[in-house]
Structure 1
Amino acid sequence: MTTTAPAPRPRRVLPTLASYRREWLVPDTVGGLSAGAVVVPQAMAYATIANLPVEIGLYTCIVPMLVYALLGGSRAMSVSTTSTIATLTATTLVSAGVAAAADDPHDAVGALMMLTLLVGAILLLARLLTLGSLVENISGATLLGMKIGVGATVAVGQLPKLLGETYDFSGHGFLRSLAAVGQAFGSVNWPTIALSAGSIATLLLLARFAPKVPGALIVVGAGILLVAFAGLEEAGVDLIAPVPSGLPLPGLPELSTLPALVPGALAIAVMAFLESAAVARGIRRTTEPQIDSNQELMATGAANVAGAFFSTMPAAGGFSQSAVNQSAGAKTQVSTLVTVALAVLVALFLGPVLSLLPQATLAAMVFVAVIGLIDIPELVRWARISPTDFWIAVVVALIGLSAGLLAAVGVGVVVTLVLVLRELNIPKLEVDERRGDAIAVHLLRALYTANALENEQAIIRLATDEQATAVVLDLERQDVVTMTVLDMLADLDRELAGRDVVLHLAALPDSAASVAGKDSWYAGLRDAGRAHDTVEEGLTAAAA
């Protein structure tokens, strides 16, 4: 006698290190250093989208990345902040009145910590309720519209800095940012424009012709060298605020801001999970384990909760650094640990050097990163293939540009729910068999509260069209019976009886039948011999 050994339980900590091989250490190290060359300067740039100190972006490359490396299921995903999350963070802080009331970017850090904590708590609650697959039902059209709105809003918000204006308008929306561009034209700084144009050209050319070269690191290094040796600061090129050396110190969130931050935290949590899940699935090799949505919820939620106490921005999986990580050969999350170590070294020793970084350099990095979100060719393709999806994306994008990104996320979620419910509510029936004037109707999807009435009307039409005198309803998919479903079946029985058609029920699972048996109508149906174990029995009784 042979027995099959039970499948090993997945590891809760460092799951990607199961069966780790020594030969993976070198590619993991190279991948981690390559990803760090992209993610560290990029995260610092994204912090400026939310008008936060650049070191906040640097800290986001330490604690959240470390926690995800310990718990995440994706072998190569790199978790820090993204342009979408940074923009929603800026919008949330402005909407809550935090950024507007802060005279110094550091004054908003307490509210930022509360926001990041809320995002993590929402993600962990979603994991507790096993909502991973549900959250992923957000439609692609909604996401495309959101990305277009984010890309246009952030790109326009960076233009004043590219022209020499220091204030960031990203969190104030597309229209106010557009107005700020007009104001900035009156005080342009030509050395700043030259630096911006050179940085953007370098990033685009490297991405096109040398994608493995870390363009972000190149332009950061070039900007610092030009300030140090070419006197750009004396020429009127603005630098970032001084970057303190050292690791992030633990602190407590500012509780007084909690109520005002909840709507934005919900939107950020949804986008953080969707981006992380999309990146994890997009870079997964076929030889690697499938991505577990609920595990990703837990890992991303825990990363945000831990990061909240160390002054980090909300974190999610980023495609650019994850793709660099994987293309450089990363095999497991050891590569992320290497990236974290690199970020720690930068935080400890390179603060004075980073303080020489021009504002325009970071703005150029952000501009190039977000302009790719405005995917017009994809929008055109959708217009040709699916006009419905095209118009959903356009509407969400327009709402994001006019009413704000938080409103766009809310509308997108509502639209998605409407589309899902509309799809689920479409009756799917088929006549399996006919015996005399009796027909067997098979339900291809179970009845529930929202689709009960639609199915009742469809069954009545089907019985009328088929000129049947008896209908045997196959309920094999009906594992759960609610009062709404029972009331609908009772009403169906009465409606069919009024048309001289007898209703029989068949193949109702035992779990549902035990609940239905407590109802007087179903008990009477059963006693009358119109509830059957199989469709065959039902047809035999109906045709007799």
Structure 2
Amino acid sequence: MAFFKAIPSLPLFPADDNKVFSHVGLERIHQEVQTDQSSHVYVSRDVFTQSDIDTLYEGARSQNEPEQSGKMSYINSCTKAKIFHLMFYFLPIVTVLQKYCFDFRNKIIGDFMGGISVACLHFPQGLAYGLLASLTPVEGLYSSFFPILFYTIFGTSQHMSFATDSVIAILTAEVIDTQVKSSFLPKFNISVVHATHTMKTELLNYRIVVSAACTFVCGSVLVVMGIFRLGFLTSYQSKSFIGGFTFAAAFHIFTSQIPKGLGIEIPLVKGIGKLVYTFKYIFEDIRNTHVPSLIIVILCVIFIVFIKDFINERYKRKLRVPVPADLLTIIIATIISTYTNLEKKFGIEVVGSIPVGIPDPKLPDVSLYVEIFPECFQMALLIFFLSIAMAKVCAEQNEYEINDNKELMAYGLTNVGCSFFPCFPASVSPPRNMILSSMGAKTTLNGLFTTCVMLLVLYVLGQLFAQLPVPALAAMIFVSVKPLLLQVRSLPKLYRVNIYDMVIWIATCSSGILLDLPYGLLVGIGVSFITVVVQSQRTDTEVRYRTNDHIFMKKEHQPHISESSKVVVFHMCSALYFATSERFRRRIYESTLNPLKMKYKPVQEIEVTFSYSSSTNTESSVHKNLTDNPSFGLKGH
């Protein structure tokens, strides 16, 4: 009996008819279907293997599709249409421009409003994150201009605002500080605190060189991943790992801004236990706190939190665009600093003059690639994971799809292009993406309107913010990492859903804080793989026994089921491969029987030869013999 199924409520065929059916695509298969009043369907046919079916279909396809030589097939495949398709693949802006003509008025309104609105975040965040990356606010503005321009050309997500990010900025600072401490400072045998003005200028130029090299390496890694179509790696990213790592990064960001908020300078710290030594130096020098700088930080934090958490949250249904708290903060702080002369009267550090225009492109320093590659490789993976996760969230909210490989290539080409200018690696920032989504941006051309605003800042408005206090930027960073620090509230939920995810979160976070961010990344990846192995070794198994109604159920559900059934269903909730094979063998022996411990051997053996015969009499006789002689051994050919 090849097939048996009972459908008591819906008979498949009339009970008084006997019908014969043949498979449409397989001439060799003959089916005979018999039905009766019990609504049981019996199907008897020839025995076919998967290879037999594949042979039939492959033979039919080979007759319809004649083979071509490899060279001729390659020549025929290189058509103009495919060349243009390849060009459109790497330049999605061409397709966007083509579609723009069909609905120009509707699309340009959403793109204009979204681009202008998100520019109000790019400007203050660029200033703040430039300092966070161990550079100056000017490099932050460049990193808020060039990535947007390049992503508009290569990107595919209409709600992606690809520019500065706090997590990537602090990782860039890690790379820059490492190179400064190992390569630059030993030449002068001094520390950063005791460097002269001329040496500080040379130090800044060296930091810019390292930053550009870091951007190029990150972009190159992403481009190579895009060429090999490694976009599927997003399927293996763990939200608990990303959450734990970003929490640790947020803690590093918060700590790095404490000296700027207190108006003190501490020695440069790098390596295992970085935060421990940083807090040690902070407490040792806390008596020298600059009180005016601390007052500015406190006032700015209160002002930003009031707007973001009270006004924007309470009236978000009435506000089409959230109130730009960061932009208002730097405008008010600059006006107060300019008219009260805070720099001279109270010695408060200010941003200083901002160069007008766009710098000339330069080739990145090739000599640094090998030294910074390990950190940049980790940074590139994080850029991809963070950015693609945010892009998918926006795509799901607005009901469209994105191509992981195209996005991966766009991230890489954008960073490679930015490496020829004084920029640091670019990534996504969730608040900017949410603004684009809420403003109804239609295409990636919203970046053109953002770049126009940033050009206006670089050529005209930048000079107006020369007296912006640096403590105000530190206050913006303190508030910006608050959502990342609040991720700790997800631990109870992770515990209830999956304790392994909680272990990954805690291990990644604790190692990133107590050791350093690169070690936290490695520990998080390692623990993630270990939990996968552990869970595969702890999969549930169950045994189902057959009831009198020919239904297989667990012993727990039907305690009266007899375990002497000759047919037992063993179920293990895991894939069967080398890591689970031993557990599968052990559990199936424990649940059923172990043939190595059997105390008797079959008393008789019969040999059954399966043939391509559809005779039901032969099948019935074999079935009867096996039923009457359950101790028979069975060999099949």
* TM bucket normalised to smaller: 0.7 to 0.9
The 3 A distance-change label for structure 1 pair 136 and 365 is: farther
Q: What residue number does 2:529 align with? A: 417
**TM-score if structure 1 supplies the norm length?**
0.78
Measured in 1, the distance between the counterparts of 2:182 and 2:354 equals 20
Measured in 1, the distance between the counterparts of 2:600 and 2:256 equals 66
Alignment-mate amino acid for residue 413 of structure 1: I
Residues 281-303 of structure 1 show CA distances to partners (whole Å, capped at 9, x for unaligned) of 22224453223222221111111
Q: What residue number does 1:354 align with? A: 465
Q: How does 1:11-90 map to 2 (within 5 A)?
A: 12=89, 13-14=92-93, 19-20=99-100, 21=103, 22-90=105-173
261-270 or 328-337: bigger deviation: 328-337
The 3 A distance-change label for structure 1 pair 456 and 395 is: closer
> Which of 285, 296, 303 pairs up with 1:202?
303
1:130 Cα deviation after fit: 2.2
Partner of 1:374, secondary structure, is: helix
CA contact (8 A) 2:266 2:282 kept: no
Q: What residue number does 2:342 align with? A: 232
Q: How does 1:367-446 map to 2 (within 5 A)?
A: 367-375=478-486, 376-423=488-535
Measured in 2, the distance between the counterparts of 1:529 and 1:457 equals 34
The 3 A distance-change label for structure 1 pair 119 and 359 is: same
> Which of 584, 588, 601 pairs up with 1:458?
584
Partner of 2:478, secondary structure, is: helix
Q: What residue number does 1:491 align with? A: none
CA contact (8 A) 2:537 2:579 kept: no
Q: What residue number does 1:320 align with? A: 431
Partner of 2:298, secondary structure, is: helix
Residues 255-294 of structure 1 show CA distances to partners (whole Å, capped at 9, x for unaligned) of 2222221121012111111110121122224453223222
Measured in 1, the distance between the counterparts of 2:269 and 2:284 equals 15
5+ residue gaps in structure 1? 1-7, 470-494, 502-527
94-103 or 116-125: bigger deviation: 94-103
The 3 A distance-change label for structure 1 pair 240 and 496 is: farther
Q: How does 1:22-421 map to 2 (within 5 A)?
A: 22-97=105-180, 101=184, 103=200, 104-165=203-264, 173-211=274-312, 212-234=322-344, 235-375=346-486, 376-421=488-533
The 3 A distance-change label for structure 1 pair 266 and 299 is: same
1:457 Cα deviation after fit: 4.5
Measured in 2, the distance between the counterparts of 1:55 and 1:396 equals 33
Partner of 1:323, secondary structure, is: helix
Partner of 2:414, secondary structure, is: helix
Measured in 2, the distance between the counterparts of 1:171 and 1:203 equals 31
CA contact (8 A) 1:160 1:180 kept: no
CA contact (8 A) 1:122 1:269 kept: yes
CA contact (8 A) 2:180 2:207 kept: no
CA-atom RMSD in angstroms: 3.5
1:421 Cα deviation after fit: 4.1
1:106 Cα deviation after fit: 2.5
1:207 Cα deviation after fit: 0.7
Measured in 1, the distance between the counterparts of 2:500 and 2:583 equals 27
Partner of 2:523, secondary structure, is: helix
1:188 Cα deviation after fit: 2.2
The 3 A distance-change label for structure 1 pair 453 and 59 is: closer
Partner of 1:233, secondary structure, is: helix
Partner of 1:284, secondary structure, is: helix
Alignment-mate amino acid for residue 35 of structure 1: V
Partner of 1:228, secondary structure, is: helix
Measured in 2, the distance between the counterparts of 1:30 and 1:229 equals 33
Bigger Rg over Cα: 2
1:440 Cα deviation after fit: 8.1
Q: What residue number does 1:520 align with? A: none
Partner of 2:428, secondary structure, is: strand
CA contact (8 A) 2:135 2:204 kept: yes
Residues 86-122 of structure 1 show CA distances to partners (whole Å, capped at 9, x for unaligned) of 1111112223446883643222111111111111111
Partner of 2:226, secondary structure, is: helix
Measured in 1, the distance between the counterparts of 2:538 and 2:236 equals 18
Alignment-mate amino acid for residue 520 of structure 2: A
Alignment-mate amino acid for residue 258 of structure 1: Y
The 3 A distance-change label for structure 1 pair 440 and 384 is: closer
CA contact (8 A) 1:53 1:241 kept: no
Measured in 2, the distance between the counterparts of 1:431 and 1:542 equals 24
Residues 357-378 of structure 1 show CA distances to partners (whole Å, capped at 9, x for unaligned) of 2111111111111132112322
Measured in 2, the distance between the counterparts of 1:396 and 1:453 equals 25
Partner of 1:19, secondary structure, is: helix
The 3 A distance-change label for structure 1 pair 159 and 133 is: same
Measured in 1, the distance between the counterparts of 2:472 and 2:268 equals 17
1:58 Cα deviation after fit: 1.0
The 3 A distance-change label for structure 1 pair 332 and 496 is: farther
Partner of 2:99, secondary structure, is: coil
**TM-score if structure 2 supplies the norm length?**
0.67
The 3 A distance-change label for structure 1 pair 115 and 403 is: same
Measured in 2, the distance between the counterparts of 1:333 and 1:386 equals 38
Q: What residue number does 1:518 align with? A: none
392-401 or 93-102: bigger deviation: 93-102
The 3 A distance-change label for structure 1 pair 433 and 73 is: farther
Residues 314-353 of structure 1 show CA distances to partners (whole Å, capped at 9, x for unaligned) of 1111101111222233222121221122112211223322
CA contact (8 A) 1:94 1:100 kept: no
Alignment-mate amino acid for residue 219 of structure 1: T
Partner of 2:162, secondary structure, is: strand
Residues 180-233 of structure 1 show CA distances to partners (whole Å, capped at 9, x for unaligned) of 432442222222222111211111111113330111111111121112111111
1:396 Cα deviation after fit: 1.6
Alignment-mate amino acid for residue 127 of structure 1: G
Measured in 2, the distance between the counterparts of 1:529 and 1:121 equals 62
CA contact (8 A) 1:49 1:168 kept: no
CA contact (8 A) 2:145 2:454 kept: yes
Measured in 2, the distance between the counterparts of 1:168 and 1:229 equals 33
Measured in 2, the distance between the counterparts of 1:445 and 1:384 equals 22
CA contact (8 A) 2:541 2:587 kept: no
Partner of 2:481, secondary structure, is: helix
Residues 372-423 of structure 1 show CA distances to partners (whole Å, capped at 9, x for unaligned) of 2112322343345444322322222221112111111111112222233444
CA contact (8 A) 2:175 2:375 kept: yes
Residues 469-513 of structure 1 show CA distances to partners (whole Å, capped at 9, x for unaligned) of 8xxxxxxxxxxxxxxxxxxxxxxxxx8999989xxxxxxxxxxxx
1:427 Cα deviation after fit: 6.6
The 3 A distance-change label for structure 1 pair 278 and 186 is: same
Q: What residue number does 2:195 align with? A: none
